[in-house]
Amino acid sequence: MKKWYKESYFDRKNWILENFDKLGLNSDETLLILLIELCKINRKAVTYDYLCQKLNADPKQIDKIIASLVAKHYLKLSTNSKGLIFDIDSIFEFDPERYEIAENKDLYDMVADVFGKPLSPSELQKMNELIDEYSQKAFIEALRIAEAKRKLKMAYIEGILRNEKS
């Protein structure tokens, strides 16, 4: 069975533009993802020269953007006989609807929804410690990354926060 994001009626570019903020993408990451998608649609090879030219960036900047997208698991790189393959399909595995936070919805409820269960007292305590140390925004971003990787443990979220800080 075909994945929903591979169906002919699905507009991948619009989905990316509608959800880049929920995905935690900055403008450079979003543009790079869109350029990869454009190349795929036009059956054009994605090259560093092309990305550097379009983003008006040097290869080191492109490497930094690519490394960030790979770390977020939104971009997979592989090679074949023709060269480097850029795969952005995993970005569509993220479910942005799970992060729609109504103004009256509590952060604890959102985390419980993502975890699929009420948080234990130790999880609540750890969550509060992480928010105090890193900020609510950073915690939510780490939660999104953990959910995308399907590793929903406070220890994993803490690891993401530590790695982002260093």
Q: Considering the entire predicted model, what is its pTM?
A: 0.58
How is the chain classified by DSSP, letter by letter? ---GGGSTT--HHHHHHHHTTTTT--HHHHHHHHHHHHHHHTT----HHHHHHHHT--HHHHHHHHHHHHHTTS-EEEEETTEEEEE-GGGGGS-GGGG---TT--HHHHHHHHHTSPPPHHHHHHHHHHHHHH-HHHHHHHHHHHHHTT---HHHHHHHHHHHH-
pLDDT tens for each residue of 116-152: 888 787 788 888 889 889 888 889 889 988 888 888 9
For the chain, what percent of residues have pLDDT higher than 70?
92
- Would you say residue 68 has pLDDT above 50? yes
- 160 band by pLDDT with thresholds 50, 70 and 90: very high
- Would you say residue 45 has pLDDT above 80? yes
